[in-house]
Amino acid sequence: MTGFLASIVEAYGELRVNKGRILLSLIGVAFSVFALTTVMGGGGMLGGALQQSMERSSGRDTLLSIQPMGEVGYAIDGDGNPISMASGSSEEITPAEQDAIVLEQLDRLGITQRSREAHAHTRIQTPQGVVGTDLTGVDPSYGAMYRMKVAQGRWLTDSDQHRLAPALVVNAPLYDALGRPELGTETITLYGESGSSESERATVVGVLPADSSMDWGPRAYIAVDGLAAVPGVDTSISTISQYLAWVPPEQGEEVRSQLSQSLANTSAGAFDVYPASFSMETMEVYKMFGYAIGGVAVVILLLGAMGLVNISLVTVRYRVREIGIRRSYGATGGRIFFGVLMESVVATVLAGAIGVAAAVALVKAPFVTDAFRSVGLVDIPPFPVDAVVVGLLAATAVGVLAGALPALIATRIRVIDAIRS
């Protein structure tokens, strides 16, 4: 260990002596590592941006959708109210009982990230008139499943399930149409179907960020249990379109299989369980994107290595007399080889560290992260650690490759010829 540290110190001393000779080559190596790390780190973050963009529409990885299989009929109870009935069964099932059957199975498996999803339509009073709006009833976990972060206000919470004045989270176009009311305090008016006199007061508690790819029209989200207060929505009939369960990726197939078995035959009928999301890693385009990034990185690295090899060979030629004198004082061929090799390795590691630091600073710069946000990156991830590790390992590998040939030439220098030169 002492000999190894001594070789590093000696190599660093030689670099200080010959810094003018190798400075240009080290700049080339530093730039190569900088480009390599930037391409890998930026490519990784771009892939994350594309993945997050897809998750906003299809949900997080390993998101399971549970939907009733077949048709659901309706019967009339003694009070004249419709009650859902499973296809092929005479048993009457209320929406609450259907929820209990599915949610009980999710509780049994310890799934806490779950949500019901129901679709409805309402009409909202705006300064320009009444506007028809798509309304989606969800549970609070729905926001995390679809990476829904509000630009203003807050997302739905458990306390919003039974508010007297329903809480709404609206998209940017609807918020602008409403005249940008004060969040959490100013109320708006909801109406039932056209021609109906039913109305209800509601409160906007959050606004989603503007998104040209998602804002196709006015849209609002409400706590699913709060749909009962919306005029024109009949909650005596099951309004749930699907149940969503977000599970760890490594447990996805196992949980899906267990849910399929437990929900295959219930008093509410059979339910189908299938993945609602997909990963970019399964897409051929994404794989080709990764291969392209790797190819560019290798080319950049080879260009930097070639420049350093040429400079190292020239440096050894200038040091022939010095090497001969060291051999005459007893330095072995292995010591000469290792010394010359370590000079190259230490130089490239230092240059690589500078290149990696510059790459991290560039990719994490505000103007770059803003560009990633513009293509769909919701949560800014840390700089990929594998890009940093690869950058430093690449710098070390370049040093070894660039120093091996000059070191081998140095060991073959004859002492008498070196001293005479």
For 367-409, the pLDDT digits (tens) are 888 877 776 566 777 788 888 888 888 888 888 887 787 777 7
What pLDDT does residue 17 have? 55
Clarify whether residues 273 and 296 are in a common domain. no
In this prediction, residues 161-175 reach a mean pLDDT of 90
Q: Tens digit of pLDDT for each residue in 324-350?
A: 777 676 767 777 777 777 777 887 888
Looking at the fold, whether 97 and 216 belong to one and the same domain comes out as: yes
**Is pLDDT of 270 > 90?**
no
Q: How many domains in the chain?
A: 2
Same domain, yes or no, for 286 and 347?
yes
Q: What is the pLDDT of residues 379-388, one digit of tens each?
A: 777 788 888 8
Q: In whole angstroms, what is the distance from residue 141 CA to residue 244 CA?
A: 9
In the prediction, which pLDDT does 80 show? 47
235 and 112 in one domain? yes
Task: Write out pLDDT tens, residues 280-291.
Answer: 555 555 567 667
SS3 of 216-260:
CCCEEEEEHHHHHHCCCCCCCCCCEEEEEEECCHHHHHHHHHHHH
**Do 98 and 193 share a domain, yes or no?**
yes
Which of 248, 278, 308 delimits the end of a domain? 278
In a shared domain, residues 322 and 387? yes
Residues 82 and 209 in one domain: yes
Q: How much of the chain exceeds pLDDT 90, in percent? A: 19
In this prediction, residue 310 has a pLDDT band, given cuts at 50, 70 and 90, of: confident
Reported confidence tier of residue 94, pLDDT bands at 50, 70, 90: confident
- pLDDT at 415 exceeding the cut of 70: no
pLDDT, residue 73, reads 43
For residues 101 and 245, state if they share a domain: yes
Least confident of 23-32, 34-43, 208-217: 23-32
Closest CA to 64 of 242, 240, 241, 246: 246
Q: Are residues 112 and 193 in the same domain?
A: yes
Q: Which amino acid is at 217?
A: G
Statement to judge: residues 52 and 178 lie in one domain: no
Do 301 and 398 belong to one domain? yes
* In a shared domain, residues 246 and 305: no
Strand 187-191 relative to strand 199-207, pairing: antiparallel
Residue 78, judged by CB atoms within 10 A of its CB (0-12, 13-18, 19+), counts as exposed
Give residue-wise pLDDT tens across range 250-262: 888 899 999 989 8
Read off the pLDDT of residues 63-85 as tens digits, 9 standing for 90 and up. 999 998 754 444 444 454 444 54
**Among 258, 278, 298, which residue terminates a domain?**
278
Last residue of a domain, one of 227, 247, 278: 278
Domain span at residue 366? Answer: 2-56+282-420
What is the reported pLDDT for 203?
A: 94
Query: Which residues are bridge partners to 388 per DSSP?
Result: none
